[in-house]
A and B are shown apart, each in its own frame.
Chain A
Amino acid sequence: QLQLRESGSGLVKPSETLSLTCAVSGGSISSGGYSWSWIRQPPGKGLEWIGYIYQSGTTFYNPSLKSRVTISVDTSKNQFSLKVSSVTAADTAVYYCARRVGSRCDIWGQGTMVTVSS
């Protein structure tokens, strides 16, 4: 059974860079037909798609975040990562990683809370 688990810094200072990693277990991140996504959810609010990456390294980002977001993949470690630069309080959210097949996210991680505060 494929599982995803997020990890990384839970508290980030304003203007610094948020870094998260999603470890994939129970299957290979290099399996064809999938891409690997990041989605976030501010406290008490709805879901926002951040972007996704293929095993090849090809990425697609939400235009509203594109200038600050980098998603990368490490197939040797079976994981992919998210970096968001120049963070503000508006980046405070639960961050989810998910497997994407077609245009849907069929398997999600449990999520990790990131707070931006000095």
Chain B
Amino acid sequence: QSVLTQPPSVSGAPGQRVTISCTGSSSNIGANYDVHWYQQLPGTAPKLLIYGHSSRPSGVPDRFSGSKSGTSASLAITGLQAEDEADYYCQSYDSSLDVWVFGGGTRLTVL
């Protein structure tokens, strides 16, 4: 059980908007540690998608955006495309455990 909780799955039709939540606590997201998001396409290594809550690395489409509020963070994907079907993970630091932690992951299905 990760200290960062994500929904196991979300789905949406092409062109729609979906959000993935990452719920933490006062010892991680709530303590203002950076939240990062990774996309893992089937059979491949994770890829950095969002860093520092809301910044995008070069080459990541602006359809992907991140936000943070209180002890939670969210990843939003607009204009959903079939190629977005993947697993998504949030990551932060937990001061109580003294460890970098990943969320349990969310599988996005494009209907």
Q: Which residues of A contact B (CB under 8 A)?
A: 46-49, 62-64, 96, 102-106, 108-111
Residues of B within 8 A of A109 (CB): 45
Residues of B within 8 A of A47 (CB): 38, 46, 89, 91, 102, 105
Q: B45 near A103 (CB under 8 angstroms)?
A: no
Q: How many A-B residue pairs have CB under 8 A?
A: 55
Q: B48 near A103 (CB under 8 angstroms)?
A: no
Residues of A within 8 A of B100 (CB): 49, 62, 103
Of all chain A residues, which has the CB nearest B46? A108
Give the distance to chain A from B36, nearest Cβ to Cβ, in Å: 4
The reply on B64 being an interface residue by CB < 8 A is no
Residues of B within 8 A of A49 (CB): 99-102
Q: Which residues of B contact A (CB under 8 A)?
A: 2, 33-34, 36, 38, 44-48, 51-52, 57, 89, 91-93, 97-105
Q: B46 near A102 (CB under 8 angstroms)?
A: no
Which of the residues A96, A103, A108, A111 comes within 8 Å of B36, measured between beta carbons? A103
Of A63, A103, A104, A108, chain B has the most CB atoms within 10 Å of the CB of: A104
Complex Cα spacing A109 to B104, Å: 21
Question: What would be 28 A-B contacts, judged by CB atoms less than 8 Å apart?
Answer: A46-B2, A46-B89, A46-B102, A46-B103, A46-B104, A47-B89, A47-B91, A47-B102, A47-B105, A49-B99, A49-B100, A49-B102, A63-B98, A63-B99, A64-B99, A102-B52, A103-B92, A103-B100, A104-B36, A104-B52, A105-B46, A106-B48, A106-B51, A108-B46, A108-B47, A110-B44, A110-B45, A111-B45
Complex Cα spacing A110 to B41, Å: 12
Residues of A within 8 A of B48 (CB): 104-106
Give the distance to chain B from A78, nearest Cβ to Cβ, in Å: 20
Give the distance to chain B from A80, nearest Cβ to Cβ, in Å: 17
Q: A48 near B45 (CB under 8 angstroms)?
A: no
